[in-house]
């Protein structure tokens, strides 16, 4: 179900891309900043919120100028709460519930929750694999592309996915 690919999230022809965000849907990773830039004004206007969202929630918006028609925003931190294993697990679970509601079969995402002071790549992969194991057979998403920046990272992340899946 998980394929690791070297690509650019903004140009992938999938049903939705996952965008890590804070509780006001501001980007929390370089991948999310790049998506915002590529998606244009439509995405910026749709991600405006009137009140802070709960960490662990997920919201679907249109994809703007992205190749994917939809963006799945996952709230992984707030001003009061940094990224934790529990927050990421809740956010991924929420994302897959939204994917089922919207019938989003093909989803692409970066390695969510990693970076300075956050989770290790191994923890992030384990949480992703565990969250997808909770998706019912035949449910959504059916195909998940885990997008990385280079060949070396692809090999490393593929190894992590293989270990976490066994």
Q: What count of Cα atoms within 13 Å lies in the side-chain half-sphere of residue 22?
A: 12
Bridge-based pairing state of the strands 16-22 and 106-110: parallel
**Alpha-carbon distance values, 67 to 8, 17, 21, 165 (Å):** 10, 9, 20, 29
* Sequence spans of domains, the chain: 2-165
CATH 3.40.47.10 for domain 2-165, yes or no, is no
Bridge-based pairing state of the strands 58-62 and 16-22: unpaired
List pLDDT tens digits, range 88-105: 999 999 999 999 999 999
Distance CA 62, CA 39 (A): 9
List pLDDT tens digits, range 29-69: 888 889 999 998 888 877 778 888 999 999 999 999 999 99
Bridge-based pairing state of the strands 70-77 and 58-62: antiparallel
List pLDDT tens digits, range 116-128: 668 999 999 999 9
Please, which residues have CB within 8 angstroms of residue 108's CB and are 6 or more apart in sequence?
7, 9, 12, 14, 16, 17, 18, 68, 144, 145, 146, 147
Q: Classify residue 24 by burial, with Cβ atoms within 10 Å: 0-12, 13-18, 19+.
A: middle
């Amino acid at each position: 179900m998980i394929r690791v690919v070297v690509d650019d999230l903004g140009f992938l022809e999938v049903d939705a891309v996952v965008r890590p965000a804070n509780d006001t849907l501001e980007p929390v990773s370089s991948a999310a900043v790049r998506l915002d830039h590529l998606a244009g004004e439509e995405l910026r206007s749709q991600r405006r919120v009137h009140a802070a969202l709960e960490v662990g929630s997920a919201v679907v918006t249109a994809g703007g100028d992205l190749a994917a028609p939809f963006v799945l925003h996952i709230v992984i931190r707030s001003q009061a709460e940094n990224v934790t294993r529990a927050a990421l697990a809740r956010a991924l679970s929420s994302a897959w519930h939204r994917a089922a509601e919207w019938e989003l079969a093909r989803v692409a995402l970066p390695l969510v929750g990693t970076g300075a002071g956050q989770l290790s790549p191994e923890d992030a992969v384990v949480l992703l694999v565990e969250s997808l194991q909770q998706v019912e057979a035949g449910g959504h998403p059916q195909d998940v592309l885990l997008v990385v920046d280079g060949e070396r990272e692809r090999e490393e992340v593929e190894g992590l996915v293989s270990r976490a899946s066994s």
